[in-house]
Amino acid sequence: MKGMDKQMTVKKKSDFLCDDFIFYLAGILIVLGIKCYYSRADCDSLRWILAPTTWWVGFLSRIPFTYISGTGYVNHDLRLLIAPSCSGVRFMVITFATIFFSFVHMIALPQKSVLSDSAENLWGNSVTPVFGNVKAKRNGHIKESAEKRTEENVVKSIKVKLKKKVKKNTHIRKRVKGLGWLVVSALLSWLFTVLVNGLRIMIAIYLPMYLENAGLMKGVLTQDRLHTMIGVVVYFIALLTIYRLIGWFVRRTVENDFMDGGDNMGTHESADNDTDTCGKPSLLTFMCKCAPPVFWYFVLTLGLPFLSRAGRDGTAEFTEFAVLVTGCCGFLLLPYVTMTLLCGKKHERNIRRRAVKSSSGNPEKQYDTGKTSC
């Protein structure tokens, strides 16, 4: 039995990889394609993202910008320039990868109600004429070899055909959903990039002015390092927030779809908590929740640039950049993890209190409450 279960698990994994491979391949090609396009694009080629970003910055700051071909959006009075390097395309690629690759397998899940309806329709349309043919066969309208076929064999053959048809329809629906999520992820990443990048530019305009007036722009804190730190902090916080927001929406959507199909979504409810099944805070569970955005941020911010810079000059500059990025991200994750663990401990204490109250009020349920409170 264990060997059969293992074979079934391997088969499910192989089917999953084969079904979703086209989605992951399309996502990887889009990421690499945008990276290649951005490395060769000028400001005229990036107006599709520079124009709305500049409008958003002007709306927030009331600072007018003028577009100069080959240069970017300029404000001569304040000596400000929104150039292609300020477009936020890198953040858009990171956001797209985080949104698409993290949830495409959930979006492409077939609904049970859809599968059951398809099976019933196919069964109703297919079984009646087949059994009509069987009755005709029994009346002597066909050869003797066909008359020996039993109804059980006919039913088995019908079920095989139905399974093939349902599987084909499921693959079509799954691919439509996956490709639809590909388009939605691209649109959402563009929208979030415009909003977040506009806020980053706003902070990059006013914060250096404030620090210079306060006399803090000295020594280690230079303009370039401050600009890098602002970008890392704003982008990383936004990426974590976007991931949790999209994850919440996707899980609720999938949960409602399965509830409509009569399925139990208790696993999805438990997945939303940062605690394990016993109510205890799980650092591993929390890190798994943060792993996709952190992974894609570091891979696309440090990994690919490191590979492209291999054997070139500028190693010291890249090392300084990598240290700043890692330090800022670690500084942001530390209080995030701490708050989660504190909330998890509070949740554990509340569970124990409820367990004690229920066990004292109803001794017959003492075993169950003890199991719940671990």
- Smallest Cα–Cα separation from 296: which of 16, 18, 95? 95
Say what the pLDDT of residue 183 is: 93
What average pLDDT score do residues 315-333 get? Answer: 89
Say what the pLDDT of residue 130 is: 46
Any idea what the Cα angle at residue 167 is, between residues 166 and 171, rounded to 5°? 115
Better-scored residue on pLDDT, 240 or 122: 240
Q: In what order do the strands lie in the sheet with 80-82?
A: 66-68, 72-75, 80-82
State how far the Cα of 229 lies from the Cα of 321, in Å rounded to an integer.
Answer: 9
pLDDT tens-digit map of 222-242: 888 899 999 999 999 999 999
State how far the Cα of 93 lies from the Cα of 296, in Å rounded to an integer.
Answer: 9
- For residue 337, what pLDDT band results from cuts at 50, 70 and 90? confident
How many other CB atoms are found less than 10 A from the CB of residue 196? Answer: 23
State how far the Cα of 27 lies from the Cα of 33, in Å rounded to an integer.
Answer: 10
b/e code 82-107 from CB counts within 10 Å (16+ = b): bebebbbbbbbbbbbbbbbbbbbeeb
In single-letter form, the type of residue at position 70 comes to G
Query: Please, how many CA atoms are within 13 Å of residue 330, restricted to the half-sphere of its CB?
Result: 6
> How many Å is the maximal CA-CA distance in the chain?
103
Say what the pLDDT of residue 170 is: 66
Q: Quick one: what percent of the chain has pLDDT higher than 70?
A: 61
Say what the pLDDT of residue 97 is: 95
Q: How many residues are given for the chain?
A: 374
Say what the pLDDT of residue 204 is: 93
